[in-house]
A = this chain, B = another copy of it.
């Protein structure tokens, strides 16, 4: 029951140790310390247990896809551990990354409108997700007002997030985009109890570039420049933020 039909539950050591009580295969929203980020915000114990009943989970190894563009839409997913990217294949066959998602974030809502997913979701490290079958979630959210409200907020947050990215893509220059990207990652790491000032990038320069509308060389050059200016430390995928205010200053500074 707990194992999704697509899930090959190979037992892997998760590379990222996450402060989560992983009591062996069984996951309850009521026990999850991500619940303040997730759909469970504001539910009382009774309602939490109803939510528990419809959630199962699935592990993915690095590189595995959670869903693909064109797949029938069946569920939305809450990331428990790990790191994902979502991307779309454009007409011309180029992939464009539309987002990077981490623990506590919900993905898959793009599929609601057509009953099919429009993007791919790929694990960038060994990961684990909660599967929330959509029709059951809809039913439950008709009977639990605070679940309904939280679900709507999460969808709206996705709309607002996408709009921020539109602004970034439409009006920022390369270095501003990259500074914004690093600060955003830093802040999201911090919210999850990790260091805001040092972390490992899970994605390649090319994926960052695709996300930010830049070429990988431009990303690499910006990293090197920030490094030379003492704003960040860069060793491959290991990043240290040395001067967050300096990065922020790049954003406000309107040189055009």
**Bound-complex Cα distance A96 to B98 (A):** 20
Chain A: number of interface residues, binned into ranges: 35 or more
**A203 on the B face (CB < 8 A):** no
**A111 on the B face (CB < 8 A):** yes
Interface pair A152/B155, CB less than 8 Å apart: yes
**A142 on the B face (CB < 8 A):** yes
A109: which B residues are within 8 A, CB to CB? 155-156, 159
Interface pair B152/A96, CB less than 8 Å apart: no
Interface pair A88/B163, CB less than 8 Å apart: yes
A165 nearest in chain B by CB position = B166
Interface pair A138/B149, CB less than 8 Å apart: yes
**A153 on the B face (CB < 8 A):** yes
From the candidates B88, B138, B158, B170, name the one contacting A159 in the complex (CB within 8 A).
B158
Interface pair A162/B170, CB less than 8 Å apart: no
**A118 on the B face (CB < 8 A):** yes
**A44 on the B face (CB < 8 A):** no
Which residue numbers of A lie inside 8 Å of B, CB to CB?
88, 90-94, 96, 98, 109-114, 118-119, 138, 141-143, 145, 148-149, 152-160, 162-163, 165-167, 169-171, 210-213, 251-252, 254
| Sample (11) of A-B pairs whose CB atoms are under 8 Å apart | A96-B171, A109-B156, A110-B163, A113-B154, A138-B152, A141-B142, A159-B162, A169-B169, A169-B213, A170-B210, A170-B212
